[in-house]
Structures are given as C-alpha cells and as structure tokens.
Amino acid sequence: MNRRAKTRHPVRNAIVLLMLMGGIALLAARAVYLQVFNSDFLQSQGNQRHMRLVKDNSHRGMILDRHGSPLAVSTPVDSVWAHPPTLAKERRKWPHLAAMLEMSPRDLAQLVQKYDDREFMYLKRHMSPPQAERVMALQVPGVALQREYRRYYPLGSVAGHVIGFTNIDDLGQEGVELAYDASLRAVPGAKRLLRDLLGTAVEVAESVVLPKPGRDLVLSIDRRIQYLAYRELKAAVDEHGARAGSAIVLDARTGEVLALVNEPDFNPNNRTGLRSGMFRNRAVTDIFEPGSTLKPFTIASALESGKYSPGSIIDTTPGTLQVGDRLFRDVHNYGVLTVAGVIEKSSNVGISKIALSLNKKNIWEMLRNAGFGQSTGVQLPGEVAGLLNPYSKWVPVDQASISFGYGISVTPLQLARAYLALANDGVTLPLTLQHSETVPKGERIMSVDTARRVQSMLELAVGDIGTGRAAQVADYRVAGKTGTVRKLMPEGYSDDKYVAWFAGFAPAVSPRLVMVVTVDEPVRGGYYGGVVAAPVFGHVMTGALRLLDVAPDAPRQDTRLITVKSERVVE
C-alpha cells in the first residue's frame, strides 16, 4: 500500500507542476497582452483616473505711463475649481465647503447638479491666497486651485475712463484695455496635473503648452498731469453743480495725449453697483456745439482768403445782425472792431459778417482739414465723428451760425486736435495714446503766417480785458478762447442749460501744451466758459508747465491772483 502511494506522487507532482507552469504562462501571456498590445487603453484609463489637463494661465501685459509708472497690472489670485463627479460623492462636506465659498449649501448643490456631467467647473473665482488656503484645508475630494490673474489699477478713478477695465476672464471691456486687448491679452497654455486617491491635485506632471504673457503697453499719458486734470475738473464740476465735464491735455509737439479725464468718474477696481453709463468716455463719445471756440478757424479762413488782415475793420453796429429769419446779437454794441478785436471781444455779429463775405466751401474745407466731422484716430472705444454738414447744404443762416460754433457738433478731443494745429503753426498732427520718441508727419492746413496771427489774437482773448482772463498762468503767455453754448434739447435750444468751453495752449510763444475743458450744464456760480472752464485750464497749466520744466516766456516781478466773478461776458 505504501509502495502504491509512493508510485503515485511523481504523477501528482507533475500534474501540479504542469498546472502551475500553465498558470504562469497564462499570466505572462496576459501581462504581455496588457502591457504590449493593449497598453494605450490602460494608460488612458489610468490617466483618466489620476491625470487632469487644465489651463495654465499667464499674466496680461502691463499698461505703463510715459515714464514707466504702472497704470494697470495683473496680480496673481487663486480660483477654486472642482471635478463634479468626485465632489458629488462628498455631500457631507458640502456645508463646510459652501461656508468657505460664501454661498449657501443649496446653491452649491445646484451648481454641482448643473455640471454633474462635466469634468470641470469653477466654484469661486479670484479668491485671495489666505481664503484659498482655508478652502484647501478642508481636504474636500475633487476640489483644487487654479492660478489666475486679477487686474489692478493703481490710479483708480483718476484714469478710469482712459484705461478702462477687464472682465473676470481678463479680457478688455472698456478704454485702452479694450482698444489694445489683442496685444495685452495673455495666451494660456495647458498642463497635466496628477491627482491623489481623493481627487486632489498634488503636482504638475508636465506642461503640454507653455503660456505666453501679454505684451506691455507704454502710453503717452503722464500720470502727474492726469492727476492735475482730474483734480481740477472734479473741483469745477462739484463747485458749479454741473452734470458732467471733460478735459484733455495734448503735447503740442507730438500729438500725444498726456491726460484725458471725465466727470462723473468711476473706480475700475470696484465696479459694484455702477451703471454702464458711468463707463462712458465723454471726451470721445459726447458731442456738443463748440460755440465761440470755433471762431479762430473762421478767422483763419478769412486770413487765408487774402480779403482780411488782423487790422481789417468790421462794423458791428448796432450789435445785431438779421440773417434770414434769425437775429444774431452781441451782448454789447461794440461798434467798429478790427478782426483781432472780433476775437478779443468774441463778437457774434462781427464773425458772422466775416463768414458771410467768404466762400462757404473755403470755410468748410478749413473746418474739415482741422479734423471736424471725422474721428481723431486714437482708437478709443465708442469714439464718434461729430457732425459737419456738407457746405452744399448751407444756406446763409447756416454759414453765419457755424462761424461762431452753432450748427456743428464736436467732441472735446476733436476740438483739442483742431487747436493743436493752431499751436503747431498750422500743421495738424495725428493724435496718439502710445508713447513715441519720434514726431509723426503732420498735414499743413493753414500757412505759418496765418497760424501765428491767430495765435496773437487768441492771446488777446486771454488778456486782462478778454473773456478768457481766468486762464492766465503766472510767468507764461497763454492763448485761448472761451465758449458758452445754449444746449440743444429735443424741443429746441434751452434757455437755462449751457455748455461751458475753454480751448487754448501755452506758452503762447513756442507752445508746449494744448488743453480743452468742457463743463456740461453748470448751475451754480455762473455758466460762462470764462468763469467755469477757463480757471480749470489755468490751474492745470500752472502745474503742468512746471512739472515739464517749461521755461517761462513772460516772467513777472509780482504775480497777482486773477479773480473772475460771475459777470455777464460775451462768448
């Protein structure tokens, strides 16, 4: 019996060994199949469970002023995102997570349910690092952080309208941010994240596509002059209870925009509760009749015609002029004036008589060449071209009205560009918001002699008996023109709503700065351009000329303060 059992052991052992070897062979074959022939599928399944392809953001380009000071910068922030299927299994942690995200558990539940078939969803965008760390401390499976960038504007309200702002996705929405969005915008990359068993991202496995930061943009804006213009315009609008206002400062040599401000303002860093109308850049979107600020261009056309010189005599007696069914009048009967006196006294009768003696096509060409009726080219969103009707449609009353700024509509920036041509000896320059070391090629619209004669007349208008004397700057000669316009309403011209203007440049000899100020519907302390807008010009120029170290062209022994009362002056 023992002998029989012993004879069976080798057979049994062989069978067991054969079965064992067969199993090993099957396992080896299966391993070869899985690792060699089916490896892509397994790798894909593994990656789906432990790898996640996410966007790799980079920062938007900075916006700098002409001296390199930041006007818009991107600061890193964290956004909380989740893998919805994983988060859906962790309902017990939802209340704590919702509290950290400053939302109700019900809102969180609705959010998870809404994206339950997705691989990605945001829970909270743009959280501060400490807040994001507290969220991650909860160790909720499927919840992770993604680095993003939030735009910050150091000047706040001071440059809100010109710089604009971006949305939560870092895309330009207004101002320069929108106009130059294509170059400022960053190009995001992509990276793979490795997740642990809880679905939490633990490390970056690899960068698939490298992100590209946006390009920096250097503007022509001088933040110091921008602040001066903002401060003085805001003070004037508040003092006179005005509806709105705009101010623009240009470099007379290059056409660069050094400052552009509007009131009411807004803070791009905090837009909570603001209405869309407050984002409107009134300097380029709102049009008004320019009133007497247009008279220098009628005079320029008259001088160019050869019919007039600064000393030519114009009889404005009796202070009124009937043209068709319209009666034009001056505040006083100025009697006999020279052409220069028409500008100094701002005589509507005198300028109308001059205009009616000229070829209307020549007047229209002067205005058109000065830039009226067409955009300035600064590329700010919403810019309008204004209104300059074809001369073929003008009747005598139109020709007379346009000579002193009625029947034509302009933006404040358009008027600034036109005065730039007067300051630049008759050469108009393209306006730009980008800083440049080179002077662009301009276009001559009037002779040097005509431009300089008009400059001298505008200097008289800012003299001690001129309408713009509040624009004077101690130690500098100033040239400019006031304007006071009855506001055009749907029912006709208003009897109690006005737009106050001042446009000018300094120093009068070799001008460096051009500035236009407009105040819409002032209601306190007067409404004339010489009372409301001219002081803004004077205050800003006083600071700006010294900031730029512009040498005085009329130093005085004693500097006297100029006080302008709300007297009745014609403009």
Alpha-helical regions (H) of 115-246: 129-137, 160-163, 175-179, 181-184, 223-239
Secondary structure (DSSP) of 82-112: E-HHHHHT-GGGHHHHHHHTTS-HHHHHHHH
Whether 82 shows a pLDDT value over 60: the answer reads yes
Per cent of the chain over pLDDT 70 is 88
CA gap 532, 522 in Å, rounded:
8
Per-residue pLDDT tens over the stretch 145-193: 888 889 999 999 999 999 999 998 889 999 999 999 999 998 877 766 6
Split at pLDDT 50, 70, 90, the class of 562 is very low
Within 51-93, where are the H helices? 84-88
Read off the pLDDT of residues 368-411 as tens digits, 9 standing for 90 and up. 999 999 999 898 999 999 999 999 999 999 999 999 999 999 99
List, in order, residues 6 or more apart from 191 with CB less than 8 Å away.
Answer: 53, 54, 56, 204, 205, 206, 207, 208
Q: Which of 292, 301, 352, 409 is catalytic?
A: 292
Give me the amino acid identity at 294: L
CA atoms within 13 A on the CB side of 505: 30
pLDDT for the residue numbered 570? 43
Alpha-carbon gap, residue 301 to 360, rounded angstroms = 10
Coil, strand, or helix at residue 214? Answer: coil
Q: In the prediction, which pLDDT does 459 show?
A: 95
More confident residue, 42 or 504: 504
The rounded distance, in Å, linking the Cα atoms of 299 and 288 is: 21
Residue with tokens 């101010």: 247
Average pLDDT, the chain: 88
pTM of the model: 0.84
Give the residue-averaged pLDDT of 85-114. 88
Identify whether the C-beta of residue 467 lies closer than 8 Å to the C-beta of residue 486.
no
502 secondary structure, DSSP code: E
Confidence of residue 26 (pLDDT cuts 50, 70, 90): confident
What's the rounded Cα separation, in Å, for the pair 216 and 193?
Answer: 30
Which residue has better confidence, 25 or 410?
Answer: 410
What pLDDT sits at residue 465? 87
Q: Is 292 a catalytic residue?
A: yes
Q: How far is CA 423 from CA 219, 221, 415, 459, in A?
A: 23, 20, 12, 12
250 has a pLDDT exceeding 90 = yes
| Dihedral, CA of residue 571, residue 553, residue 431 and residue 215, to nearest 10 | -140
What mean pLDDT do residues 205-210 have?
A: 65
Query: According to the model, what pLDDT value does residue 120 have?
Result: 84
Distance of CA 125 to the CA centre of its chain: 25
Spatial CB neighbours of 512, under 8 Å, sequence gap ≥ 6: 251, 252, 253, 505, 506, 545, 548, 550
Q: Residue 56: pLDDT above 70?
A: no
Domains and CATH numbers, the chain: 54-111+119-218 (3.90.1310.10), 223-267+281-547 (3.40.710.10)
Cα 336 to Cα 315: distance, rounded to the nearest angstrom: 4
Residue 564 pLDDT: 40
Is 264 strand, coil or helix? coil
> Sign of the CA dihedral 393, 422, 250, 60?
positive
Kindly tell me if the per-residue pLDDT of 75 is higher than 50.
Answer: yes
What does the DSSP 8-state code read for residue 276?
Answer: G
Q: Which residues contact 447 (CB under 8 A, 6 or more apart)?
A: 304, 426
d(CA 188, CA 212): 6
Which residue, among 172, 167, 144, 134, has the nearest Cα to 79 in the 3D structure? 144
